[in-house]
Amino acid sequence: MEALERDLISRALRETKSTYKAAKLLKVSQSTIVRKARSYHLKEELIQHP
């Protein structure tokens, strides 16, 4: 389950280039995207704030 979540967040961040837009796309809060991206050690360049 974690692998699926990590993949979805990673794809959303690559596609949108923004934590705000990724959160909107996945229908979760921006803080959730930031927290989960950090916990999954996704690259910092993907974690951009608007």
Q: How many domains does the chain have?
A: 1
- HSE of 14, CA atoms in CB hemisphere, 13 A: 8
pLDDT at 43: 74
3-state secondary structure the chain: CHHHHHHHHHHHHHHHCCHHHHHHHHCCCHHHHHHHHHHCCCCHHHCCCC
Of 46 and 36, more confident? 36
pLDDT at 32: 97
- 39 pLDDT band, cuts 50/70/90, is very high
Tokens of 43: 């690259």
Domain that holds residue 12: 2-46
Of 15 and 48, more confident? 15
Q: What is the pLDDT of residues 12-37, one digit of tens each?
A: 999 999 999 999 999 999 999 999 99
Say how far apart CA 50 and CA 48 lie, in whole Å.
7
